[in-house]
Amino acid sequence: MPAPSTLGLFALTALALVAVPGPNLVYIVTRSVDQGRRAGLASALGVETATLVHVAAAAAGLSAFLASSATAFTVVKYAGVAYLVYLGVRTLLTREEPAAEVATVLAPQRRVYAEGFIVNLLNPKVALFFLAFLPQFVDPAAGAAWTQVLVLGGVLVAIGLTLDLAYALAAGAAGAWVRGNPAYARRRRNGTGGIYLALAAVAVAAGRGKSA
């Protein structure tokens, strides 16, 4: 187990890092504004469930393999990009429904959860984050490294989930007003699809240095 002082320092540092907006947060806010608080909460749970997978992978040493293999990094990165492009194109091509029928065509909560899970799972930068960040707080004298990684990862998930839920609730409240705007129904599809495609472009640009 990490020392209490180490846990406290890690929590403060993780809070500062998690608070910086990234693709996962943009996805959660987009879903919250687009479909309401329940969808935002489902997307947040999906994102953080995938973070648990990354924690387990880091404890098992898979993050080290991903960092050392340019091919593995590229495959995972472009799988994530392809999925974001798929979400964007699917949204843009969805037939627009009358305002009175919008509630009947919104994505079910299970799909929102699954999409949040996949978006985060296929983000290799999250795995690299665990490789570069968590080891700085692992003390070889405090016990097995993998148990410390699990504890630190659990703290990170708790912080991330708290912030994600807060953003989802706030964005959901703002979205209730936005969805009441008559122009919203006409702009929702293009705006949401465009955000997914923009996230895919950012993912490609951000990974160029690693892939080279």
Domain annotation covers residue 77 = no
Evaluate if residue 104 carries a pLDDT over 70.
no
The answer to whether residue 84 is domain-embedded is: no
194 found inside a domain: no
The reply to whether 195 falls in a domain is no
Q: Read off φ and ψ for residue 158, nearest 5 degrees.
A: -60, -40
Asked if 196 contacts 90 with a C-beta cutoff of 8 angstroms, the reply is no
Structural domain span for residue 43: 4-70+95-188
Pull the structure tokens for residue 118: 């996949």
| Number of domains into which the chain is organized | 1
At residue 102 the predicted structure's pLDDT band, cuts being 50, 70 and 90, is very low
By C-alpha distance, which of 87, 95, 93 is closest to 118? 87
Whether the model clears a pTM of 0.85, i.e. scores above it, the answer is: no
The percentage of residues in the chain with a pLDDT greater than 90, rounded to a whole number, is 12
pLDDT recorded at residue 103: 41
Residue 66 lies in a domain: yes
Do the domain assignments include residue 113? yes
In which region does residue 106 sit, left (phi positive, over 0), alpha (psi from -120 to 50) or beta (all else)? beta
Q: Is residue 87 a part of any domain in this protein?
A: no
Residue 204, domain member (yes or no)? no
Q: 108 near 36, Cβ under 8 Å?
A: no
